[in-house]
Amino acid sequence: MIFTLSGLTIKEYYRRKVLIVLFLMMLVVAGSGLLSNPFTMGIQGQLMRDLSLLFIEWFGVFFSLALASTFLPNEIERKVLYPFLSRGISRGKYLWGKFLGISSILAFFNLILGLELMLVVKISIGAAHPLILGACFLFWVQDMVIVGFSIFFSTFMTAPVSFASMVLLYILGDISHFYVEAFTSGNPIVNFLLLKVKSLLPYFDYFSIRAAVTHNYSVSFSYIGAAALYGALYIVLAMLFAESVFLKKDL
């Protein structure tokens, strides 16, 4: 039943032309790299990889936020979920089905963009860069963490508040401890509280190996696996919280 809901979610966003927008954005990423001058691809190649991966990461983050923070409040308002619940589908399965559907769309997005970027790099410099797929895989893990927490927030918040809360969580989770200490150096109490809160949140920079791809550094499979496991733990935690809140929600 979870996979059926996942498939229905993908079809729903297809009907809403979401996947067409994705395809157009993919063409932009692929085409921008082909505009580079092949005779100066030393620095330009690094810049092209860096900007392309940054684009993939940011668009994935925005797309995760836009989809996951709005679907539940909108479906409650439009009473879309009631027919599913009346057929005996549990609220937990409903959330997991939606989560898998959105995650599948994001997996398609990251895979296609990663393959296109590899093709552009191959055409531009004559050599493939397989670590690009590793970077896109970790972007996808990051996107799923965002989806999980966005679904959790959406179980007890309106869509705009859920979106804003997840943006704040992402910003706080993405910045380093150094910046937190620098911003709050004048107030030790705020510094202590923010650092404690930050230690409980996912550190999103852990999912980025963009610098390694840009400068041709090696990244071990153990790091990618550890980062994926780190993200999986937060995904399960966020979805369990979402399920427990949604079960108590008065619909």
Which pLDDT value is given to residue 77?
80
232/3 Cα distance (integer angstroms)? 19
pLDDT at 143: 94
Percentage of the chain beyond pLDDT 70 is 75
Which has more confidence, 61 or 71?
61
Higher pLDDT, 2 or 99: 99
76 has a pLDDT exceeding 50 = yes
pLDDT, residue 186, reads 59
Mean pLDDT of the chain: 80
The token duo for 59 is: 């668009």
Instruction: Give the predicted TM-score (pTM) of the model.
Output: 0.86
pLDDT tens digits, one per residue of 15-70: 766 666 666 766 666 556 555 554 445 566 677 778 888 888 888 898 888 888 88
| The pLDDT value given to residue 139 | 94
pLDDT of the residue at 38? 47
What was the pLDDT predicted at 87? 80
Count of other CB atoms within 10 angstroms of residue 69: 29
Q: Which residue has the higher pLDDT, 47 or 139?
A: 139
Percent of the chain with pLDDT over 90: 22
User: CA 168, 102, 114: angle at the middle one, nearest 5?
Assistant: 90
Q: Is it the case that residue 86 has pLDDT exceeding 90?
A: no
Q: Summarize pLDDT for 193-233 with one digit per residue, the tens.
A: 766 667 788 888 889 898 888 888 888 899 999 999 999 99
Q: What is the pLDDT of residue 39?
A: 45
Mean pLDDT over 119-144 rounds to 84
